Structure 1
Amino acid sequence: MAVLIFLAAFIAASIPLSWLFRAGLARALPRHMAVVARDMPLTAAFGLWVIALYILVAFFAPLLAPFPERAVVGTQFQPWDSAHWLGTDRLGRDMLSRLIYGARNTVGIAFATTALAFIVGSLLGIWAALRGGWLDQVLSRFVDALMAIPSLIFSLLLLTIFGTTVMTLIFVIAAVDATRVYRIARSVAQGVVVMDYIEAARLRGEGNWYLIRREILPNALAPLVAEFGLRFCFVFLTISSLSFLGLGIQPPTADWGSMVRDNATLITFGDVTPLLPAGAIALLTVAVNFVVDWQLYRASGLKEQG
C-alpha cells in the first residue's frame, strides 16, 4: 500500500516539476535554445530533470550518502528507522547509502561503456560506408556473425573467460554493443556518401578523415545521438542483468543489479526494499527513452499540427 501511495505522489509531483524545469530552461538558456526548450513536451522535460537528478546524485554521492559505501553500520536486514531510512542489507550496510553510490557506479560504468561502443562502432561503420568494396564486405560479414550470437550469452561467455573486473566489463560489453552501433552508423552513412557535396569534396582532393569529420558525421549526428540514448538504456540494463547474475560489477562495490539479488529474500516477507534499486533502473530507462523520443521527433522534421 505504501508503495502505491508513493508512486501516486511521485506521478502527481512529476507534472508540475516537469513544467517548472521546462520554464527554467527556457529562461536560463540563450534565445535560440530557449525556443527549443519552450517547445519541449512535458515527457521530455520529465526525462531531462530525472537524468539531471541522477547525474547530480552520482557526482555528489559522498556528500549525499549518510554512510560510507562499504561500511557495516547495523545488523542484518535491519528495518527502516530514523538512523537507516531504507534499512540495511544482508551484511548490515546502509541501503540508502548504497543506493546513492549505485548511481555513480552503475550509471557511470554504463555511460563509459556506451561511449566506447559508439566511438568504435560509429567510426568503423562510417569508414566502411565511405570506402565500400572489400573492406565494407569483410567488416559487415564479421559484424553479422557476431550479431547472430545473443548478446547476453556472448557477454556471459566472454566475462567467464576474461574475468569480471570493471575494465573487462566495460570492454566486453562495448565490443558486443559496437556491432549494433556499426550497423546503424553504416546505414546512415550510406545515405550520405552518395550526396553531391561528398563528390564535390572528393574532387577538391579532401581525404577520408576530412569527409568523415566535416561532411558525413555532422549530417548523420541526429540519428546517432538518438541511438546513443537507446544504446545507453540497453547497456545499462545489460550491466544490471549481469550484476544480478553475479558476473557484472563485483561486491563490495555498490550496484543496483547486485542489490536486487542480495536483498531478494525480503520480498517473501512483504518488504519492498529490493524493489528500490529495480525502480531506480526502471526510472532512468523511462527518462532516457522520453528524451530519445523527443530527439527523434525533432530530427524527423515533423511539426505539431494545431
Structure 2
Amino acid sequence: MNTALLRRCLREPRVRVGVVLTGLVLLITFVGPFFSPHAHNDIVGAPYTTPNGTALLGTDYLGEDVLSRVLAGGRSIVWIAFVGTLLGVAVGAAIGMTAAYSGGVVDELLMRTMDVLRAFPPLVLILLLLAMAKASEGLMPLIVAVAWVPQVARVAYGAAREVVSREYVESAETLGAPRLRIVRKEILPNVMTPLMVEFGLRLTWSIGIVTAMSFLGVGLQPPAADWGLMIKENYQGLALQPWGVVLPVLCIAVFTFGTNLITEGFSWTVARVSSQEGES
C-alpha cells in the first residue's frame, strides 16, 4: 500500500473512529496493569461483592477484584489474536503467491490442500486441533494461525494470479532474477493491499475465536486473567454482581468493533480508489 493511499484511508471517518476505539483498548491492555489496585489473583473480599472502597467494581466468583482482573485480562486476547492472525496471513500469503506463480503441479497440490482445509469452519478446526494438543498460551497463536492459512491462501492466490502475467514479472524472469526474489519484490508489493484488508478481517474474527475458546473452557485456564475466561467464570452471578461479566464483554465488543471499523474503512477506500482509477 503506497503512502498516498494510506493517508487517504486514515482520512476516512470510520478508520479514525476504529483507531481511537482500538487504541483505547490497547491502552487499557498494556498500561492498565501498572495502575491495577491489586494483583489479579488476590482475594480482596467475599464472592460477588458489590462495588466498595476495596474493590471499585466489586469482586468475582472467588472474591478477586474485578477491576484488577479486567486490567490484566486483555493481554492474552490481544497478543494471541494479533500473533495468530499475523502468522496465518504470512503463511497463507506465501502459499497463495507460490501457487499462483508456480502453476502446474505445485499450484494444484497447494491449492487443493487449502481447499480441503477450508471445508472445516475455522472454529471447528481450532477445536479439533485443541483436542489433539494440550492448550497453552504459547500454542494458541499457532492454532489460530492454522485456521486462517487456507482462507488467506485463497485470497492471496486470486490477487497474485492477476499479477504474475504482467510485464514487470516477465521482465524480471527474462533478466534471470531468482523465483523467490520475484515473488518477494514483484508480486508481494502488488498484492499487499488486499492482504492488509484480509489481515484486519481475520484479526476481528480472531478476537472472537480466542474469546470463545476461553469461554468454552478449551483456552486459557484458571487462575489466568483473561476476558473470555472472566465471562465463563462469572456469568452465573450476573444478577448478583454484573461487572465481572459486563466489563470484559464491553472491552471485547469495543476492540472487535474498532478493528472492524478500520477494516471496513480501508476496504471502502481501496475500492473507491480502484473504481476512480478504472474510470480514468
TM superposition score normalised by structure 1: 0.83
Structure 1 residue 225: Cα displacement: 0.5
Q: In the superposition, relative to structure 1, how do residues 137 and 249 fare at CA in structure 2: closer, same or farther (>3 Å)? A: same
- The one of 225, 230, 237 equivalent to 1:254 is 225
Deviations 1:200-241 (A, max 9, x none): 111111112211221111111111101101100111111100
Q: Which residue of 2 aligns with 1:279?
A: 250
Q: CA RMSD in A?
A: 2.1
Q: Which residue of 1 aligns with 2:186?
A: 215
Q: Which residue of 2 aligns with 1:76?
A: 47
- The one of 125, 144, 155 equivalent to 1:173 is 144
Contact 2:84–2:145, Cα closer than 8 Å, also in 1: yes
Q: Does the alignment pair 1:121 with 2:95?
A: no
What SS class does the counterpart of residue 74 from structure 1 fall into? coil
Deviations 1:236-261 (A, max 9, x none): 11110011000012221111111111
What SS class does the counterpart of residue 11 from structure 2 fall into? coil
CA distance in 1, matches of 2:121, 2:208: 15
CA distance in 1, matches of 2:234, 2:265: 36
**Percent of aligned pairs sharing the same letter:** 33
Q: Which residue of 2 aligns with 1:112?
A: 83
What SS class does the counterpart of residue 261 from structure 1 fall into? helix
Q: Which residue of 1 aligns with 2:129?
A: 158
TM superposition score normalised by structure 2: 0.90
Q: In the superposition, relative to structure 1, how do residues 35 and 158 fare at CA in structure 2: closer, same or farther (>3 Å)? A: closer
Q: In the superposition, relative to structure 1, how do residues 82 and 97 fare at CA in structure 2: closer, same or farther (>3 Å)? A: same
Q: Which residue identity lines up with residue 241 of structure 1 in the other structure? A: A
- The one of 38, 56, 64 equivalent to 2:35 is 64
Structure 1 residue 125: Cα displacement: 1.0
Instruction: Identify unmatched segments of 5+ residues in structure 2.
Output: none
Q: In the superposition, relative to structure 1, how do residues 182 and 33 fare at CA in structure 2: closer, same or farther (>3 Å)? A: closer
Q: In the superposition, relative to structure 1, how do residues 42 and 224 fare at CA in structure 2: closer, same or farther (>3 Å)? A: same
CA distance in 2, matches of 1:62, 1:185: 38
Q: Which residue of 2 aligns with 1:55?
A: 26
Q: Which residue of 2 aligns with 1:130?
A: 101
Q: In the superposition, relative to structure 1, how do residues 33 and 141 fare at CA in structure 2: closer, same or farther (>3 Å)? A: closer
Contact 1:78–1:89, Cα closer than 8 Å, also in 2: yes
CA distance in 2, matches of 1:241, 1:106: 11
Q: Which residue identity lines up with residue 38 of structure 2 in the other structure? A: F
CA distance in 2, matches of 1:33, 1:235: 26
Aligned length: 272
What SS class does the counterpart of residue 178 from structure 1 fall into? helix
CA distance in 2, matches of 1:32, 1:228: 20
Deviations 1:73-123 (A, max 9, x none): 222111112321221111111111111112211111111111111121111
Q: Which residue identity lines up with residue 212 of structure 1 in the other structure? A: V
CA distance in 2, matches of 1:270, 1:81: 12
